[in-house]
A and B are shown apart, each in its own frame.
Chain A
Amino acid sequence: MDVIVETSGIRKHFGPVRAVDGVDMAVRTGEIYGLLGPNGSGKTTLIRLLVGLLRPSGGSARVLGRAVPDKAILAQVGYMPQANALYEDLTVRENIAFFGEMCGGVSRHRVDELIALVDLSDRADSLVRTLSGGMRQRTSLACALVHKPRLLLLDEPTVGVDPQLRVAFWDYFRQLARDGATLIVSSHVMDEAERCDRLGFMRQGRLLAEGTASDLREKAGADTLEEAFIRFAERGLEGGQP
């Protein structure tokens, strides 16, 4: 499998804060890559670097074969920010259609298809302002998918989502990966990580470890991912190197 996202020593500093502090990672086409770590570990900054919303302070990243930031990749990238980032005074359908237009225009049919997919057919013409948190999250996901991107960058897509919907989201992510898309999904919920093909543990702007869930458990000699994370974090502190 070829590599679709590759970073080498990428860094982003905000003044004295080292939000991302030298990350080397590689994501292969068609896999679901989970970025796992607590709040403030640099997951969001890393994703924003990959989208090209931030310019790296150092190091570099290649996404879809081009050095970021590069506007040219964005037609093939779907980005779901952590905040809902929707137009509150537009309807679900209008929001999805608008972001479709921004990505070069999509058919009415495609918009309807997405509305059905995120199970919002009965609320399609409701203003986003009137929706619950979970419905907004689903609308936001639909907006990120509207142009059938090859690469999806989802920043905590399941935060605040009820368990039933979370399962539906993950089934759908798997479906997208089977259809050839690549997904990078950040989360701070360990049990979600089991559903990723490969994982990256992030802490304090660094990548502690990378591998499949079972790999990571084995390497750490731990029974659960949570335990594995803690072990890696401790090792990282002891050795000074991740």
Chain B
Amino acid sequence: MSARRIFAIARRVMRQILRDHRTVGLLLVVPTVLLTLGAILFRAEPAPMSLGIANRDQPVAVPMAARPIAIGEQIAAQLAADGMFRVRDVSEGEADALLRDGSVQGVLVFAPDFSAQFVRNRKVVLDLRLEGSNPGRSAAIAARVTQAAIRALAGMAAGGSQGAEPPVTLNATYLYAGPQFDTLDFVAPVFLGFLALFFVFLLTCVSFLRERAQATMERLLATPASRAEIVLGYMGGLGLFALLQVTVILCFTIWVLKIHYLGSLALLFLVIALLAVVAVSLGILASAFARNEFQVVQFIPLVIFPQVLLGGTIWAVEEMPSYLQPFAYVVPLTYANRALRDVMLKGWRLGDIWPNLLILAAFAVVLTLLGVRTMRRDVA
């Protein structure tokens, strides 16, 4: 044991790292950025949810009360006062259309005899129509609506009649998915996307780096093979592995973890294949800026993590603070996540999800063109 040798090795290691300015920058800057992003997402008040109320309730005149009883109106007032909701009046007929296009997340319907039922039976049945693809959000809406109803009825009780707490039942129906879907079902589709993005990106980065380092790229470029052919070849080969990987993971999640899903698996594969193409082009682009495998690994916190945080993987984009939302739309994973959830949780078809696929394809084209540009033949 020689302290002198140990010291010399430590000094050499530090000198090497300090000489790599980018690594030093990444060590300090990236964790700060990621922590800031995480802190915002964890702490932020979620953006309010849109709740539609279809109020056809007819007030009922009761002999002992000064004013007619209008329970529907009371509950609506409670909900409007709740900061979690942005309440709007809708008609019952347009409920599903509004839920489908995402302009409301739930619709509460008061039938014409809503108050009359209460007067007759002393209980309330809430008819809540939910979008359903996000189990966490569905549960939150159901709980808040029930609370609002209880508060409204408690106010009534204080006004006269009986002291016992009026019973409230919630009858929730779902446009998509349903009560059997849990958080795992919500996360599983995007997890498939994340795995494809992550591994294909890493694989591409490292393969391309090796190709450059071992000079086989130079030899390849000295054959009639064009850069476009090389990139497409990589996409074919690595894309196939992404699909193979997804097949295995999918079988596991469906048969072992028993997740629920609705849509076509073929369509799911199409989305993942497209995401894999994006990942290859992103990898080729990134590999041009890495000199060694160490720097490739540094791209994970730089290229992958922000996409996961911003892309609606864990926090739905609509629930993120509004100033963060624009960033969600510049990362490709957002669109893949959306398409994957639409297929798996809503059972949407190609005709419904094509805009997201088109945007993914556009990302792939732009990134590929940039990637091909970085394969400069002018390599010193």
Contact = CB atoms under 8 A, between A and B. Distances in A.
B1 interface: no
A54 B379 CA distance: 7
A167 interface: no
A83 B82 CA distance: 71
Interface size class of B (residues with CB under 8 A): 10 to 19
Nearest to B214: A85
- CB-CB nearest 6 A-B residue pairs: A102-B223, A85-B215, A79-B222, A83-B215, A85-B219, A102-B225
A75 B216 contact: no
A83 B379 contact: no
A194 to B, nearest CB: 28
A32 B170 CA distance: 91
Interface string A69-109: 10100110101010111111000000000010011100000
Q: Which of B216, B223, B225, B226 has most chain A Cβ within 10 Å?
A: B223
Contacts of B6: none
A55 interface: yes
A194 B128 CA distance: 94
Interface of A: 14, 51-55, 69, 71, 74-75, 77, 79, 81, 83-88, 99, 102-104, 143
A47 to B, nearest CB: 10
A88 B214 contact: yes
A43 B256 CA distance: 62
Interface in B219-264: 219-226
Contacts of B12: none
A17 B178 CA distance: 69
A87 B216 contact: yes
B165 interface: no
Contacts of A55: 377-378
B222 A74 contact: yes
B380 interface: yes
Contacts of B378: 54-55
B183 to A, nearest CB: 41
B293 interface: no
A103 B220 CA distance: 10
B276 to A, nearest CB: 22
B218 interface: yes
Given A75-B224, A86-B214, A99 B219 contact: yes
Nearest to B380: A14
Given A14-B380, A55-B378, A85 B218 contact: yes
Contacts of B377: 52-55, 69
A99 B226 CA distance: 13
A14 B379 CA distance: 10
Contacts of A74: 222-224
Contacts of A86: 214, 216
Q: Which of A53, A75, A77 has most chain B Cβ within 10 Å?
A: A53
Given A86-B214, A104-B224, 14 more contacts: A51-B222, A52-B222, A53-B222, A54-B378, A71-B226, A74-B223, A81-B219, A81-B222, A83-B214, A83-B215, A84-B214, A86-B216, A87-B216, A102-B220
A14 B377 CA distance: 14
Contacts of B219: 79, 81, 85, 99, 143
B229 to A, nearest CB: 9
Nearest to A51: B222
Contacts of A81: 215, 218-219, 222
B218 A102 contact: no
B339 to A, nearest CB: 35
A148 B369 CA distance: 33
Nearest to B227: A71
Contacts of A75: 224
Interface string B190-232: 0000000000000000000000001110111111111000000
Q: Which of B219, B220, B380 has most chain A Cβ within 10 Å?
A: B219
B224 A71 contact: yes
Contacts of A51: 222
Contacts of A102: 220, 223-225
A52 B223 CA distance: 10
Interface in B288-318: none
